[in-house]
Amino acid sequence: MQVISVINQKGGVGKTTSCSNLGAALALAGYRVLLMDLDPQAHLSIAFDRMPDPGDPSVYTLLGGHHSIADVAQPTNVDGLYIAPTNLDLTGSEQEFANEIGREILLRDALQDYSRSKNAPDIVMLDCPPALGLLSLNALCASDYVIIPVQAEFFALQGMAQLHDVLERVQRRLNPNLKLIGILVGMYSKQRNLSREVVQELRNHFGEIVFSHHVRVNVRLAEAPSHGMTIYEYDPRCAGAEDFRIVATELASRLGLQSRPGADLVPPAKAENHAMPNFE
Ligand code: ADP
Ligand code: MG
């Protein structure tokens, strides 16, 4: 079981869109994938039409120690894709758990238990909130890998130094295994010089850690969640579906995942060194 935080403290950069559609692409390729909604806004849960009623098993009751992941995880309409949803109860959790001993590792403990169960998925993707508070810290402490989605916009790099600083401190003090596995450029438009400039600047800073394929601006990606669907159910032939399929292939290869029978994924690439890039 490999755990991946999809994180950027900025809102609206494509974290939730990437989680649901990368997760779906990997599930369609034959992997078992669990998505977890760590954002109190519950966008991921709403997008799958799985928002729990207050008090029902959710990421909130999981972190509170009342339920296990097996209680919280539910199947979605995509074969092999599961979701651990949340509801607005999670909003107060940062304060509520602030004085708890081991407050950063509540999720790590729950995932470690789950990884030993026979139902453990191949991949867990954590949809982080747009803040670097306790929920994001829980995600980073529980993760093997980090994906940072960014928009191909002028402010793409703004905030990256702060995020990098947090990743480095988590790596040093709490989770030495944490690795950055990819920076995913979204809202890319080939026609715009700005998109190309932003990608160039990201490559100058981060080199090959930037996924070689970008997710284009595609209105179908914005429409799908309002129908409770991933892009593969809503419009499997649109550009957004193709982009996430290609990025999922690249991700599986970087993770060194073995292809599944019938899986539409390339064989694992040679082991690469996905160390944290240097900002200097
Ligand atoms: P975050 O989770 O980082 O806040 P979202 O994934 O919710 O960001 O994306 C923000 C908004 O942009 C959403 O309305 C989403 O549907 C839309 N969006 C994301 N990626 C694309 C894209 N490639 N093309 C068009 N709209 C997109
Ligand atoms: Mg989101």
Handedness of CA 126, 18, 177, 121 (dihedral sign): positive
Mean pLDDT value across residues 213-222: 97
**166-204 per-position pLDDT tens digit:** 999 999 999 999 999 999 999 999 899 999 999 999 999
pLDDT at 240: 98
Helix and strand numbers (H, E) in the chain are 12, 7
Mean pLDDT for all residues in the chain:
92
pLDDT at 119: 85
Mean pLDDT value across residues 40-53: 97
> How far is ligand 2, taken at its centre, from the CA of residue 225, in Å?
12
d(CA 167, CA 70): 29
Output the residue whose Cα is nearest ligand 1's atom 5.
14
Q: How confident is the model at residue 154 (pLDDT cuts 50, 70, 90)?
A: confident
Q: Ligand 1: which residues within 6 Å by Cβ?
A: 11-17, 43, 130, 186-187, 215, 217-219, 221-222, 240
- pLDDT higher than threshold 70 for residue 280: no
- pLDDT higher than threshold 50 for residue 269: no
Give the ligand 1 atom nearest the CA of 17. 6
Structure tokens at 193: 């010089």
> How far is ligand 1, taken at its centre, from the CA of residue 191, in Å?
19
Q: What is the DSSP letter of 152?
A: S
Give the ligand 1 atom nearest the CA of 18. 6
pLDDT at 260: 63
Q: What angle do CA 190, 275, 24 make, to 5 degrees?
A: 55
- pLDDT higher than threshold 50 for residue 151: yes
d(CA 190, CA 171): 35
- Three-state DSSP class for 231? helix
pLDDT at 263: 53
pLDDT at 268: 37
Which ligand does the CA of 18 lie closest to?
A: 1
**Which residue of 17, 195, 215, 223 sits with most ligand 1 atoms within 8 Å of its CB, as the best mutation to test the pocket?**
17
For the chain, give the percent of residues with pLDDT over 70.
Answer: 92
- pLDDT higher than threshold 70 for residue 147: yes
**237-262 per-position pLDDT tens digit:** 999 999 999 999 999 999 998 766 55
Neighbours of 79 (CB within 10 A): 11
Q: How confident is the model at residue 59 (pLDDT cuts 50, 70, 90)?
A: very high
> How far is ligand 1, taken at its centre, from the CA of residue 14, in Å?
4
Give the ligand 1 atom nearest the CA of 223. 16
Give the ligand 1 atom nearest the CA of 243. 23
Which ligand does the CA of 221 lie closest to?
A: 1
> How far is ligand 1, taken at its centre, from the CA of residue 215, in Å?
11
Output the residue whose Cα is nearest ligand 1's atom 6.
14
> How far is ligand 1, taken at its centre, from the CA of residue 218, in Å?
10
pLDDT at 272: 44
pLDDT at 125: 98
pLDDT at 258: 73
pLDDT at 278: 40
Q: How confident is the model at residue 279 (pLDDT cuts 50, 70, 90)?
A: very low
Output the residue whose Cα is nearest ligand 1's atom 20.
14
- List domains and CATH numbers for the chain: 2-255 (3.40.50.300)
d(CA 253, CA 59): 29
Mean pLDDT value across residues 135-155: 96
> How far is ligand 1, taken at its centre, from the CA of residue 222, in Å?
6
Q: How confident is the model at residue 158 (pLDDT cuts 50, 70, 90)?
A: confident
User: What's the pTM?
Assistant: 0.93
d(CA 253, CA 266): 7
